[in-house]
Structure 1
Amino acid sequence: MRIAVVGGNGNIARLLHPLLVEAGHTPVALVRREEQRPGLEALGAEVALLDIEASDEDAFVEALRGADAVVFSAGGGPDGNVERKRTVDLEGSLKSIAAAERLGIRRFLQVSAIDVDSPVPAEAGEVWAAYVAAKRDSDAALRASGLDWTILRPGRLVDTEGTGRVALGDDVPRGDVPRADVAAVLAGVLERPETYGKQWNLVGGDVPVTEAITRAAG
């Protein structure tokens, strides 16, 4: 399959591309800057330009055209820019969902965040509240779509080496998870119809990825 990865130069996406290639797929990294092309092509991805914030829905349609599935893993970054939580994390997801629906692309994977349906403590601050709201609302929009969706809600993302073992499920408590293991779960659920319509928390654990997916889907 051709897999369009929105946020294709992100930390999770760069780990995902080689896994998709290994599985026989063609990842298409959608990125904002041409200078990102060589590094992504070295990972086996094709590259297409898409400025998530500046592009309208029609531009998303053109960028996703020819894809068999979409992975939305974009994020506005760790900075204190409240506005980018809306324009990237929320509106980027909404435009990706709408474009997939227009093109008839059924399969849609989304990387969200753990506990975003829970109330945000007052002391958490404006930026965190905006981030949680964006992820919560984009997840709700995807759940309401007619797509074959899977939503992964990782805990705190870390850059340690992946273990290949996770805890995955509806009520898994907050914890850390290597980005490499998030990428492995994304690749693992892609072609499994029993994961359609599932929203799971994801943290580090003791169960091998494939088995964790089977248990969660059962």
Structure 2
Amino acid sequence: MEKILIVGANGSTGKRIIEILNNSQSFEPVAMIRKKEQKPVFDDMDVESVLADLEQDDFSSALKGVDKVIFAAGSGGHTGPDKTTAVDEEGAIKIIDASLKAGVKKFVMLSAMGADEPSSHKELEHYLKAKAEADKYLRNSGLNYTIVRPGALTDDLGMGKVKLAEKVERGEISRDDVAFLLVMSLADPLAKNKTFEAIEGDEPIKSALIEISQG
């Protein structure tokens, strides 16, 4: 069973990822949390947690024994530029470096649609720039990676059907479906070293991932 560190485990999407992994026969989740007060949530789920902050510099204890990483942290588009840079760019880069040093086998990044053209979205420009820099750093890091860039996230019930491509029209996708996409991307052959956008669609997640893997 592979041990998966979820960065941003306490967020809305992170908690969904934890639930999926916790019911998996292949993966064991480890929740990375910023505050001790968050630990009981994961204790109740019988999920291991590690205390670490993206604004710190040492992640060796958080990555001990970890096989793969899902980065689902995000400051959100409404956070100021300084905090966004600290979490979405610098924090991501620190954990990418630490993952490389720790011998992590795959790094799955939750990015954002529009990260390839931040200036086209003025209200989110600082957020998308930070995401773009982190994505670029991951692609050049030498780690095996998958970068998922979803459209606008909703709390609707996931239908398990998506549209994936390097570029798709702007649209929405449920956090449930994004969580499943990220978890399924952990499989070694799927979406290896691929960056793609995702919105709700008509194709089952698994077959859509297989298709994008072969593209």
TM-score interval, normalised by the smaller of the two chains: over 0.9
Counterparts of 2:89 and 2:187, CA distance in 1: 25
Indicate conservation of the 8 Å contact 1:168/1:202, yes or no: yes
Aligned equivalent of 1:72: 71
Cα distance per residue 1:8-39 (max 9 Å; x no partner): 11111100112112222111111111111122
Deviation at 1:92, TM superposition (A): 1.2
Deviates most, 166-175 or 88-97: 166-175
Aligned equivalent of 1:124: 122
The one-letter amino acid paired with 1:152 is: V
Deviation at 1:40, TM superposition (A): 2.3
Deviation at 1:106, TM superposition (A): 2.2
Counterparts of 1:78 and 1:40, CA distance in 2: 27
Deviation at 1:87, TM superposition (A): 0.3
Aligned Cα root-mean-square deviation (Å): 1.4
Matched, 1:136 2:136: no
Give the secondary-structure state (helix, strand or coil) at the position aligned to 1:64: coil
**Partner of residue 206 from structure 2, selected from 204, 210, 216:** 210
The one-letter amino acid paired with 1:163 is: M
The one-letter amino acid paired with 1:146 is: G
Give the secondary-structure state (helix, strand or coil) at the position aligned to 1:65: coil
Aligned equivalent of 1:22: 23
TM (norm. structure 2) is: 0.93
Indicate conservation of the 8 Å contact 2:190/2:209, yes or no: no
Alignment of 1:141-152 (within 5 A): 141-152=137-148
Structure 2: gaps spanning 5 or more residues = none
Give the secondary-structure state (helix, strand or coil) at the position aligned to 1:39: helix
Structure 1: gaps spanning 5 or more residues = none
Q: How many residues align?
A: 212
Alignment of 1:142-181 (within 5 A): 142-181=138-177
Cα distance per residue 1:148-202 (max 9 Å; x no partner): 1000000001111111111112122221000000001111111132421001101
Counterparts of 2:179 and 2:46, CA distance in 1: 15
The one-letter amino acid paired with 1:184 is: F
Indicate conservation of the 8 Å contact 2:153/2:174, yes or no: yes
Counterparts of 1:43 and 1:206, CA distance in 2: 32
Give the secondary-structure state (helix, strand or coil) at the position aligned to 2:168: coil
Counterparts of 1:195 and 1:216, CA distance in 2: 6
Matched, 1:13 2:14: yes
Counterparts of 2:17 and 2:70, CA distance in 1: 10
Counterparts of 1:163 and 1:194, CA distance in 2: 20
Counterparts of 2:46 and 2:17, CA distance in 1: 10
Counterparts of 1:210 and 1:192, CA distance in 2: 13
TM (norm. structure 1) is: 0.92
Cα distance change on mapping 1:43 and 1:176 into 2, 3 Å: farther
Indicate conservation of the 8 Å contact 1:27/1:44, yes or no: no
Indicate conservation of the 8 Å contact 2:151/2:198, yes or no: yes
Indicate conservation of the 8 Å contact 1:17/1:44, yes or no: no
Indicate conservation of the 8 Å contact 1:14/1:40, yes or no: no
